[in-house]
Amino acid sequence: MKVLVLIADGSEEIEVLTPVDYLRRANLDVTLCSVSPSRTVTCSHGVSVNTDMTLDSFLSAGGALPDAIVVPGGMPGTTNIAASDATLKLIGEMYKDKKLVCAICAAPALVLSKCNLLAGHKWTCYPGMQSQAGKESEAGYQEGISFVHDGTLITGRGPGAAEEFSMEIVKTLCGNESYEKIKKGSCQR
């Protein structure tokens, strides 16, 4: 299975690297993809990350859609990702094809709402950001929950929920056996 994890200047490090780590531990084909023209991205707390490729390179290679996409939060990373028309189009195509769409922190409210994916679903995001998703989407907001899995959408609350959010993606894509093996092997609570 193939998973695309997006990143942009200002993305939250924990929300980018935790899914990459756990999904690779599950032996998934994970591509860390920069939405900006450069493969090197500076995250919200000054950590530089060298990505596998840029989104332009990924899209120009053609091929099938990945099985899942992960959109981290962090500021201004989330607004940088939300400003990418190519990203929004890709997320919309994935949702339409019933692929797994995952977003955490500000990304559900600022990115998934721009793709019109939240209305009619239960979801969560960083506290206070839910009002940015619009009235139609706000009705499904679940407060105080680490992650919400509704259909092909998995949303997470914020940096402190990155582990649980990522492990829900692992469980969904790989099943309980892989989930339990990684949980035990990484000494999770």
Q: What is the DSSP string of 116-127?
A: T-STTS-B--ST
The predicted-structure confidence for 102-160, as pLDDT tens digits, reads as follows 999 999 999 999 999 999 999 999 999 999 998 888 889 999 999 999 999 999 999 99
Decide: 141 and 58 in contact? Cβ < 8 Å: no
Which CA distances in Å does 16 have to 5, 34, 96, 131, 134? 7, 11, 24, 24, 25
93 contacts: CB under 8 Å, gap ≥ 6: 65
pLDDT value of position 136: 85
State the catalytic residue, choosing from 33, 43, 102, 105.
Answer: 105
pLDDT value of position 138: 84
The predicted-structure confidence for 169-189, as pLDDT tens digits, reads as follows 999 999 999 999 999 999 988
The predicted-structure confidence for 28-66, as pLDDT tens digits, reads as follows 999 999 999 999 999 999 999 999 999 999 999 988 999
Please say if 105 is a catalytic residue: yes
Q: For residue 97, how far is the Cα from the chain centroid?
A: 17
The predicted-structure confidence for 68-112, as pLDDT tens digits, reads as follows 999 999 999 999 999 999 999 999 999 999 999 999 999 999 999
